[in-house]
Structure 1
Amino acid sequence: MQQTHQQLIKVNGIRLSVHIAGPESGKPVWLLHGFPECWYSWRHQIAALAAQGYRVFAPEMRGYGATEAPEAVEAYDLITLCADIQGAMNHFGHQQVAMIGHDWGAPVAWHLALLEPARVKAVCGMSVPFGGRPRQPAINMMREAYKDRFHYILYFQKPGLAEAELASDIPRTMRLMMHGLDSQEGGALVQDKPADAAWLDDYSDPGKPPAWCSEEAFEVYVKTFEQSGFRGPVNWYRNFERNWERTEQLAGRQIEQPALFLIGDRDPVGILEAYTIKKMPGVVPKVEQHVIADCGHWIQAEKPDEVNSFLLPFLEHHFPAT
């Protein structure tokens, strides 16, 4: 693992933890993690990017680890999450950056490209595509489509419920989610059981993390959630209506920057987002899309060499390190 150092900075009304690596003179690349992850999920990219001469910034996103976790649900809307990173860019004096995000980090990266067209020179999203602002909040469509089935996002909507289940045994939760999101067959995003059932009750603990996650890395994940819990991370899912309201000014806007989208062929999100992936070139005209074979949801850790083989040339072409 590339040597990193942690800085705690005050931005946007919270304490933000940022892990930094690479030469001080290098161009800044931001790596935004998703759920249920941590900054360390980028360990393979941090090493590769730093070796290329980039200055790498991997924050613990709002609600995670050493970053503060406000209690209010509305403290986790998308524009506020973007403002955390905008404030951090201001703090470090960044004039031009590359922005990279996975899972929930991807919508933050996509929207930062819209909000900061002069500063975000290249953008990459992994697993979650950008389809533009929908005609109504996505949660409304989910409620209609899955009213008789279990959907994890609908389960997350009731404050207190999901975070209690997930925090009851954090190592078990992380093992189940790592294995369950490793393939479409094991993916537990939509299930044929009552809509108000618990999420992970039906699954047996595999006893160890998947092969792509070392015990050392697994401990970093577990310690992240032992430190912060799950309330803040799950609150990200409780802001679909607020996200829709606060992005009204972005309706119809395209992402004009060079863009890269990566997804694993066994990522269950790919099934849920198939239509958005197909329409993405219409709203991100300069997007380059790649599907990584034999890969689940945890793309940058499952297939780091393949991810880096697309990411590094993309950045070298559009945001060269020197």
Structure 2
Amino acid sequence: MTRRTDSGYGGIRHRDIEVNGVRLHLAEQGEGPLVLLLHGFPESWYSWRHQFAPLVAAGYRVVAPDQRGYARSEQPAAVDAYTLLHLVGDVTALIGALGGEPAVLVGHDWGAPVAWSTAALRPDLVRGVAGLSVPPLPVSGLPPLAQSRERFGDGFYQNYFQRPGVADAELALDPRSTFRRVLFSGSGDRPGSDRPSGWVVPEGLTLLDTVPEPEKLPDWLTEDDIEAFAADYAEHGDRAFTGPLNWYRNIDRNNELLTAFHGCRIEVPALYVVGDRDMVTALIGPDALRFLLENLTPKLHRHVVLPGAGHWTQQERPAEVTAALLDFLRHLDG
């Protein structure tokens, strides 16, 4: 079913597809080998707007879904419908629905663990995988909440997101303000971003209290971009962010469900791209990052660090990210 064909980015087509009983919205363009772009929190297909045209021009079929629960895609009601197994299942089903040939996966933020885990569990369907911001992690995904609480306290954003309805209401009250605040605060343009740290909500404050609305947007982000993100989320109303937050509400469940796969490595060619002002670099630390890359991605092609970039890599540094992806695709295609 096609719902909207005009994206503001020339030639990108939009349609819906049902996988695993869930309706997903797709943005797609081009012909050739499949490159599947998986966005993160709290974004949509639109976060990849700068990558479509160059990848299509290089001869690839580019598809960016709004992942389960996000933006224009359907939101299953049950919290436990958002486990990493469900998310990997959506990707494998999408690859099948789009022709069944092995794809190149590119994931940013939460999309990165989905991409890394799909590559580890179904290497027959993945010929290469790139992670932006979040490095390869054990297949079980993010660390258990108790570990995060012990290190950062109850106010750590992943723990804060566990409170039913709280962050949901805050983020949905004014989506345009939410996107301005969250995207600016995680960027390399935020004052103090040269000293990245974890996102912690102090006692007595709300989530959005910690991310003031910027007086001026950075050069890479426009009011039209804010409007595009807000419009993508509009159909879910006051539950606009509940589906995305439910991904976080399955962190411990993921660790329980995927214990059988501990120790699995990513045996396909890989690429990792991160900004040196990304809070993920502070959360993980250089020694742990080196360990993860060396032990989980034996076929790592490159580890690219973007000076001055924050968390929103493909939006903040579109030319550099696209160049790294094209270099990786050339590597895969010989």
What is the TM-score normalised by the length of structure 1?
Answer: 0.92
Given that 1:98 and 1:121 are in contact with CA atoms closer than 8 Å, whether structure 2 keeps it comes out as yes
Using the alignment, how far apart are the partners of 2:279 and 2:120 within structure 1? 27
Using the alignment, how far apart are the partners of 1:133 and 1:8 within structure 2? 29
Shift of 1:206: 1.8
Q: Give every structure 1 segment of 4 or more consecutive aligned residues whose post-TM-superposition deviation is greater than 6 Å.
A: none
Shift of 1:286: 1.3
Alignment CA distance shift 1:134-1:14 (3 Å): closer
Aligned partner of 1:282 in structure 2 is: 295
Using the alignment, how far apart are the partners of 2:256 and 2:172 within structure 1? 31
Using the alignment, how far apart are the partners of 2:251 and 2:13 within structure 1? 34
Aligned partner of 1:22 in structure 2 is: 30
Using the alignment, how far apart are the partners of 2:333 and 2:79 within structure 1? 36
Aligned partner of 2:3 in structure 1 is: none
| Alignment match of 2:135 (pick from 115, 118, 129) | 129
Alignment CA distance shift 1:161-1:107 (3 Å): same
Using the alignment, how far apart are the partners of 1:208 and 1:220 within structure 2? 18
Using the alignment, how far apart are the partners of 2:108 and 2:211 within structure 1? 25
Moved more, 239-248 or 119-128: 239-248
Aligned partner of 1:163 in structure 2 is: 168
Using the alignment, how far apart are the partners of 1:85 and 1:166 within structure 2? 27
Alignment CA distance shift 1:273-1:319 (3 Å): farther
RMSD after superposition:
2.0
Aligned partner of 2:206 in structure 1 is: 198
Using the alignment, how far apart are the partners of 1:22 and 1:307 within structure 2? 19
Question: Residues 10-60 of structure 1, C-alpha deviation per residue, up to 9 Å, x if partnerless?
Answer: 11111011111012xx00000000001110110111111001010001000
Alignment CA distance shift 1:203-1:66 (3 Å): closer
Using the alignment, how far apart are the partners of 1:182 and 1:107 within structure 2? 20
Alignment CA distance shift 1:7-1:276 (3 Å): farther
Moved more, 54-63 or 265-274: 265-274
Q: How does 1:145-156 map to 2 (within 5 A)?
A: 145-147=151-153, 150-156=155-161
Shift of 1:197: 3.4
Using the alignment, how far apart are the partners of 2:201 and 2:160 within structure 1? 13
Given that 1:122 and 1:258 are in contact with CA atoms closer than 8 Å, whether structure 2 keeps it comes out as yes
**Counterpart check, 1:79 vs 2:72:** no
Aligned partner of 2:222 in structure 1 is: 214
Q: How does 1:107-118 map to 2 (within 5 A)?
A: 107-118=113-124
Greater relative contact order structure (CA < 8 Å, 6+ sep): 1
Alignment CA distance shift 1:192-1:137 (3 Å): closer
Using the alignment, how far apart are the partners of 2:93 and 2:109 within structure 1? 21
**Counterpart check, 1:8 vs 2:19:** no
Shift of 1:191: 3.5
**Counterpart check, 1:260 vs 2:271:** yes
Shift of 1:6: 1.2
Shift of 1:204: 3.3
Given that 1:2 and 1:21 are in contact with CA atoms closer than 8 Å, whether structure 2 keeps it comes out as no
Shift of 1:71: 1.8
Given that 2:277 and 2:310 are in contact with CA atoms closer than 8 Å, whether structure 1 keeps it comes out as yes
Using the alignment, how far apart are the partners of 1:64 and 1:209 within structure 2? 24
What is the TM-score normalised by the length of structure 2?
Answer: 0.89
Using the alignment, how far apart are the partners of 1:313 and 1:177 within structure 2? 30
Using the alignment, how far apart are the partners of 1:71 and 1:273 within structure 2? 32
Using the alignment, how far apart are the partners of 1:160 and 1:135 within structure 2? 24
Percent identity over the alignment is: 41
Using the alignment, how far apart are the partners of 2:241 and 2:80 within structure 1? 16
Given that 1:181 and 1:188 are in contact with CA atoms closer than 8 Å, whether structure 2 keeps it comes out as no
Q: Give the counterpart letter for 1:193 in structure 2.
A: P
**Counterpart check, 1:294 vs 2:308:** yes
Given that 2:156 and 2:201 are in contact with CA atoms closer than 8 Å, whether structure 1 keeps it comes out as no
3-state secondary structure, aligned to 1:190: coil
Moved more, 225-234 or 96-105: 225-234
Using the alignment, how far apart are the partners of 2:96 and 2:248 within structure 1? 27
Alignment CA distance shift 1:2-1:315 (3 Å): farther
Aligned partner of 2:321 in structure 1 is: 307
Given that 2:198 and 2:282 are in contact with CA atoms closer than 8 Å, whether structure 1 keeps it comes out as no
Shift of 1:2: 4.1
Moved more, 117-126 or 276-285: 276-285
Q: Give the counterpart letter for 1:150 in structure 2.
A: G
Aligned partner of 2:254 in structure 1 is: 243
3-state secondary structure, aligned to 2:50: helix
3-state secondary structure, aligned to 1:150: coil
- Show structure 1 runs of 5+ residues with no match: none
Shift of 1:67: 0.8
Shift of 1:108: 0.3
Using the alignment, how far apart are the partners of 1:202 and 1:33 within structure 2? 23
Alignment CA distance shift 1:315-1:58 (3 Å): same
Q: Give the counterpart letter for 1:71 in structure 2.
A: A
Given that 1:130 and 1:276 are in contact with CA atoms closer than 8 Å, whether structure 2 keeps it comes out as no
